[in-house]
Amino acid sequence: MMEISTERIIEGILFAAGSPLSVKEIADGTGIAAADVRKAIKNLIKEYDERRSALEIVKTGSAYSMQVREEYIEAVIPFSPAEMSKRVIKTATLIAYHQPILQSRIVEMVGTSAYQHIRELRQRGLIKVRPSGRSLELTTTKRFLDYFGLDVKNTDELKAWLKENM
């Protein structure tokens, strides 16, 4: 029976994850020591760079993800399924920009489909909610920043980035 290397396990995890993972998340989920996870990621980054792969492993905040290198994105996009609909992304952007914001206000802005969008965003761990009167207060999570690859430190920086880039 063939022995499976730590690098190949980590490579498979990063490929399948769909969102950035921290060394701790990988270590906790696999039972592989954090130092070994870090070493495997470092080796994979070097391996992908040396063979000039169309894929790369990048660090976003404190997490790692596998993605298509910038120079190949245009060729890949037509074959890539949308992970989230544009309407859900619009709702996420509104929440991020106006946070903290009441769910009732998002529904006023987007319509009743916002309830489904908010449910999807919560399931993905991109927003958190807390009761506020007869509604819910919505804010983004750290996972939101990691998912969208945003390197900002706080809500003010996030709002500034959105204002500049949207």
pLDDT band at 2 (very low <50, low <70, confident <90, very high): low
pLDDT tens digits for range 98-151: 999 999 999 999 998 999 899 889 888 889 999 888 889 999 988 888 787 777
| CATH architecture, domain 6-77 | Orthogonal Bundle (1.10)
Helix (H) or strand (E) holding 59: strand 55-60
State the average pLDDT over residues 87-99: 92
pLDDT at 1 over 60: no
Contact yes or no for 114/91 (Cβ under 8 A): yes
The residue ranges of every structural domain in the chain are 6-77, 86-165
* 45 or 163, greater pLDDT: 45
> Are 102 and 136 contacting, i.e. CB atoms less than 8 angstroms apart?
yes
Average pLDDT over residues 40-48: 96
Cα–Cα dist 24/3, whole Å: 24
- Does domain 86-165 bear CATH number 1.10.1060.10? no
Provide the edge-to-edge strand list for the sheet that holds 135-140: 101-102, 135-140, 127-132
Asked if pLDDT for residue 59 goes beyond 70, the answer is: yes
Comparing CA positions, the residue from 64, 55, 56, 58 lying closest to residue 21 is: 64
Q: Do domains 6-77 and 86-165 have the same CATH topology?
A: yes
- Contact in structure between 4 and 14 (CB atoms under 8 Å): no
